[in-house]
Amino acid sequence: MAIEKTVDQILLKTPFKRVSPNVSWHPPTTYGESAPVMMSRQVFIQVDQSQFLAEYDPSGHKINDPFYYADRIKIDQNDQKYIHFVERVSLPLQATIVTKQMTHLSGNCIQFVDSSPSPSEEQKSTLVEFKQGWLNKNMEVAMHESFEMEKITGDSAFCGYIQDGVFGWRTFGYRNGEILYPHYDNVTGKLNLFARRYMQSGVEYVDVWDNKNLTTYTKDKSWMGKAKKLIGGLDWIQKEQKAHGFSFIPISYKRDEMGACWSLSQDCIDKFELAISQLCENNKAYAFRIMFIKGDGEIIKDGDGMPSVIQGDAESDAKFLEKADVSTSFELQLKTLEKYILMGSFTVLPPEVRGGDLPGVTIKLLYSPAVEKAMQDAMHWNSFVDNVVSIFKFGFGVETQRSAQLEALPVRGEIIPYVHQNDNEIATILNQSVTMGTLSVETAATKHPYALNDEFARMEAQAQAEQSIQIQKDTLNQHNQDRGNAGI
C-alpha cells in the first residue's frame, strides 16, 4: 500500500490534555421532549509529554520552581537586602506509584491459553516451542518496557522486525526521545499507518510503517529545503524504503488518554511537596532550641565554636526556650494529602505483619486497591498483548521455518495480575485438588508456582524413565530367579 499522506500530515496526532474548570459556561435549558444534542464545549489544557517526564523526575517538580514557591527577600543587620533560599523538598512519589502499579501488572509472566477444546499432540508440542521461544527472545522484557513506558509518558509501542531471517523487537516511547504517531482506519479502527519521529546525531528522522514497507524520511536542512518550506512545500526527503517482511504493520500501540499513571494524584502531590517544604522551613527556624540569656554575661566557646562556659553576675540567668511543636492541623494536612495521593493512584504501602505467613484471602484484602487497578489495566492491555502475540508468531515462525504451525496455533496471551501470595499454600491447594480428583495433573503442573513451561512433559518423561528402570530391575530379578531354579 502506497503512503497517500505527506510527512507533515502523518506527523499529526491528538495531544494529551486535561480538563479545564470552565465555570463560566452553562448548558442551555430545554423544556421539550427532544432537542438537538450539542457538541461538547468543554475547554481542555494541552499537556506536552515532556511535562510527564518532569513530574517523574524529582528535580523537575514544581516545588523547585521559584515562581511556584518563591524565595524570600530579607534585610540583614546592616539594612542590606538579601535572598533567603527556602527549603524545597521534592519526593519521588511518581516513581513509587509506577513501581507499585508495575509490580501487580507485570509481576507474573504472560499466561498463554490454547483455545482448542481438545488440542492434538502436535499442537501441544508447538505451544511448548512457542512458550520457550517467547522466553528466549526476552518477550517478557518487551512487555515490561511497554507497560512502564506508557505509565510514565502516556503511550508506548512494540515493534517487531526480521533481519537476516532472525526475529527481533524494539520498544518505542517518548522517554526514549521518540514521538509516536498512530493512524487508524475510520471504519475498522485498526492501525493502518504508524510513524516514529526521533533525532540521531543531530539529524531529525521519521520512520513510517505501512502494510508492506518501512520508509525513512529525513529533514532537509539545505537552503533548498528551507526555501521549499517557506513557499508551502515539503522539507522532508525520502532516505530509504524497504520491505519489513510482515504481512501487516508489525506495530502494537497503546495509549492512556489520562497521560501518566499518577495524573489523577498530581495536584495532591504538588500540594504535599509544598506542605513538606513549608514544614522544613519552619523547622529550620524553630525546631532547634534557642538559648535565652538574662543580664550581662560572657559566653566562652570551645574549638568548634559551641558554647562551653557562660560567665555572669548574680543577676544573670541562662536557659533554653522550649521548641515549637508541629500543630495538629498541619499534621492532619500532611496525612490527608498522603491518603488521597495513595487513593488516587491505587497504591498500597506494605502493611506491618506481626505474625507469620498470612492466608491468601487476607493478602488480597490488604492489597485490594492495587489488585483492582491491575485487573482494570489488564483488560485495557489485552488487545495490545494479542497484537504482540500475532507479531511474535509471524516473526518467530519465519525464523524457525514453522510459520504454518505457529500461525495455526490458536493461542492468546492473558495478563494475570500479580498478588503477593503464600507459595506453600498454593502448592497445597493444587496437590489436594489433584488428590480429590477435581483438577487434572496436567493443569496442576502448569499452575504450580515453580513449574516450567514443559513441566507436564517433564513429568511424563520422568514417569517413563522410572517405568523403564523398574522393568529392567524386574527383568534382572526374574533372570536371577530362573538361574537359581536351574541350579546355576
DSSP string, 366-431: HTHHHHHHHHHHHHHHHHHHHHHHHHHHHHHHHHHT-HHHHHT--EEEE--------HHHHHHHHH
Nearest to 192 by CA among 210, 215, 165: 210
- For position 224, what pLDDT does the model report? 60
Element (H, E) at 311: strand 307-312
Is residue 156 over pLDDT 90?
yes
Look at residue 463 and tell me whether its pLDDT is greater than 80. no
pLDDT, mean of residues 277-301: 71
Confidence band of 468 (pLDDT split at 50, 70, 90): confident
DSSP category for residue 346: T
Instruction: Report residue 293's pLDDT band, with 50, 70 and 90 as the boundaries.
Output: low
DSSP tag of 36: P
> Of 41-50, 182-191, 390-399, where does mean pLDDT reach its minimum?
41-50
Residue 226 has pLDDT above 60, yes or no: no
Contact 151, 101 (CB under 8 A): yes
pLDDT at 284: 75
pLDDT tens digits, 118-134: 778 888 888 889 999 99
Give 394 or 111, the one with higher predicted confidence: 394
Examine the pLDDT at 147 and tell me if it is beyond 80.
yes
**pLDDT reading at 431 higher than 80:** no
How much of the chain exceeds pLDDT 90, in percent? 42
What's the 3-state SS for 45-82?
Answer: EEECHHHHHHHHCHHHCHHHCCCCCCCEEEECCCCCEE
Q: What is the distance, to the nearest Å, from the Cα of residue 277 to the centroid of all Cα atoms in its chain?
A: 28
Amino acid 74: pLDDT: 86
Partners of 66 in beta bridges: none
pLDDT score for 251? 97
Instruction: Give the mean model confidence (pLDDT) for residues 331-353.
Output: 87
Query: Is 86's pLDDT higher than 70?
Result: yes
pTM, 2 dp: 0.79
Distance CA 337, CA 316 (A): 48
Tell me, what's the pLDDT at 398? Answer: 94
pLDDT at 465: 76
pLDDT reported for residue 412: 87
The answer to whether residue 314 scores a pLDDT higher than 90 is no
- DSSP SS3 for 222: coil
- pLDDT for residue 159 is more than 90: yes
pLDDT of residue 387: 95
DSSP codes of every residue in 102-140: HHHHHSSPPEEEE--SS--HHHHHHHHHHHHHHHHTTHH
Stretch 418-431: mean pLDDT, rounded? 73
What does the mean pLDDT of the chain come to?
83
Task: Note the pLDDT of residue 305.
Answer: 61
* pLDDT at site 113: 79
**Stretch 229-252: mean pLDDT, rounded?**
82
Q: Note every long-range contact of 361-364, with CB atoms under 8 Å and residues 24 or more positions apart, other chains counting.
A: 363/419, 363/420, 363/421, 363/422, 364/419
313 pLDDT more than 70 = no
pLDDT digits (tens, 9 = 90+) for 10-43: 999 999 998 888 666 566 666 656 666 666 677 8
pLDDT band at 111 (very low <50, low <70, confident <90, very high): confident
> Which of the four pLDDT bands, split at 50, 70 and 90, describes residue 117?
confident
Please provide residue 81's backbone torsions phi and psi, each rounded to the nearest 5 degrees.
Answer: -80, 145
pLDDT over 60 (residue 344): yes
Q: Is the pLDDT of residue 329 over 90?
A: no
Residues of the chain above pLDDT 70, percent: 77
Predicted local distance difference test score (pLDDT) of residue 122: 84
38 by Cβ neighbours in 10 Å (0-12 / 13-18 / 19+) ranks as exposed
C-alpha cell at 12: 499529526
449: pLDDT strictly greater than 70:
no
pLDDT tier at 304 (50, 70, 90 boundaries)?
low
- Mean pLDDT calculated for residue range 161-165: 94
Residue 387: partners with Cβ closer than 8 Å, 6 or more residues away: 158, 252
